[in-house]
Amino acid sequence: MMDRAVYRIIDANFNRAREALRVMEEYCRFAVNNGSLSGRAKQLRHELCAAIGQLEQGKLLAGRDTLGDVGVGQRVENQLERATAAEAFTAGARRLTEALRALAEMVQAESKPVAAAIERLRYQAYTLEKDVVLFAGPVERFNRVQLYVIVTSDLPAEILSLASRCAAGGADCIQLRAKGMPDERLFAVAVEFVDICRDLGALSIVNDRIDIAAAAGADGVHLGQDDLPVEQARRLQLSPLIVGKSTHNDSELERAIGAMPSYVSLGPAFTTVTKPKIEVAGTDYIRHGLQRLAETGVSHVAIGGITHENVELLLRAGVQRVAVCAAVTEAPSPADACRRIKDKMAEFLSG
């Protein structure tokens, strides 16, 4: 009887783990749209099936007694209530690790190698859950952006004034780019910058400095080609941050995709005074970048020389988010300049 009970527990938790992995796989595939993460969930499911396949399948099926299971029909309040696909994923991930722990405990008596294999899968499941959450949440937040403004200045008063006026004009995301400011002052400015963005409903991004972004409570960090790698930046975050990465050509784009940032910037779209030494990538690169990103779940923003006059060229190429700098920050009224670009984008994207 005890042997039969063990196999009933193994069978129940094997089914529970497979079902949870299918939920996680489908979330990564259809909601996150990331083939790599979906593939990891699928591989984990196959490895679990292979491990359990080493046990006597006849005993598993013979031990199954759904009608006689006293747990069938028991319900906990709000047990199956899920407001979002992300909540379903999280619930699945928790069921998975619980089931894998139960399997590892019970399989010990039948096969220590199989139990060890299942225990390894449990730790892989923890890592997969972490990687999905740290990737998917920030991407979802960034995907709401249309107008992204880069404030380039080393003058605290100018930075804060521009951030306030651009956010008031409808900027969805604002980046603080202060290359020559001492760390202590940069941190103090970043704290105020983050507060302004939060109060006015804009995402706050700090250029280059993951340490400043994390310490100031910013929504994210943008990394250039010579900055800290995406993976290392994520190790320093205190909560899931939006992590952007600059790309200017196909090889940089491929390396960035491998690191799975929240978004990549594609450009320069046009000649830009902000980075005059970087060769213009043009709309062909941006169009190719959009096609390549489509199956990765990584978001995008077109950048470089974008103005109210030329933004429609990018929108027609499939761009949904644009980053502007001088066209807004050097305008007589940055708020009005933001509104004009945002209104043009909204009109095009809604039509």
State the Cα–Cα distance between residues 7 and 179, nearest whole angstrom: 63
Long-range contacts of 242-248 (CB under 8 A, 24+ apart): 242/138, 242/139, 242/141, 242/142, 242/203, 242/205, 243/138, 244/205, 244/220, 244/301, 246/222, 246/303, 247/289, 248/278, 248/279, 248/281, 248/285
Report the candidate in 97, 10, 105, 16 with the shortest Cα–Cα distance to residue 62: 10
Residue 38 annotated as lining a ligand binding site: no
Residue 139 annotated as lining a ligand binding site: no
Give the containing element (helix H, strand E) for 247. strand 242-247
Residue 275 annotated as lining a ligand binding site: yes
Residue 208 annotated as lining a ligand binding site: yes
Residue 75 annotated as lining a ligand binding site: no
Residue 219 annotated as lining a ligand binding site: no
Residue 29 annotated as lining a ligand binding site: no
State the Cα–Cα distance between residues 295 and 308, nearest whole angstrom: 30
DSSP letters along 129-153, please?
HHHHHHHHHHHHHHTT-SEEEEEE-
DSSP letters along 151-189, please?
EE-S-HHHHHHHHHHHHHTT-SEEEEE-TTS-HHHHHHH
Residue 337 annotated as lining a ligand binding site: no
Residue 243 annotated as lining a ligand binding site: no
Report the candidate in 161, 194, 188 with the shortest Cα–Cα distance to residue 175: 194
Residue 108 annotated as lining a ligand binding site: no
State the Cα–Cα distance between residues 85 and 342, nearest whole angstrom: 30
User: Residues in the chain, how many?
Assistant: 351
Residue 262 annotated as lining a ligand binding site: no
At residue 203, the 3 state secondary structure works out as: strand
β-bridge pairing 203-207 and 242-247 = unpaired
Residue 227 annotated as lining a ligand binding site: yes
Count CA atoms within 13 Å of residue 295 on its CB side: 7
State the Cα–Cα distance between residues 25 and 20, nearest whole angstrom: 9
State the Cα–Cα distance between residues 92 and 99, nearest whole angstrom: 10
Residue 171 annotated as lining a ligand binding site: no
Residue 207 annotated as lining a ligand binding site: yes
CB–CB of 285/250 below 8 Å? yes
Residues making up the binding site for Mg(2+): 208, 227
Residues of the binding site: 175-179, 207-208, 227, 246, 272-275, 305
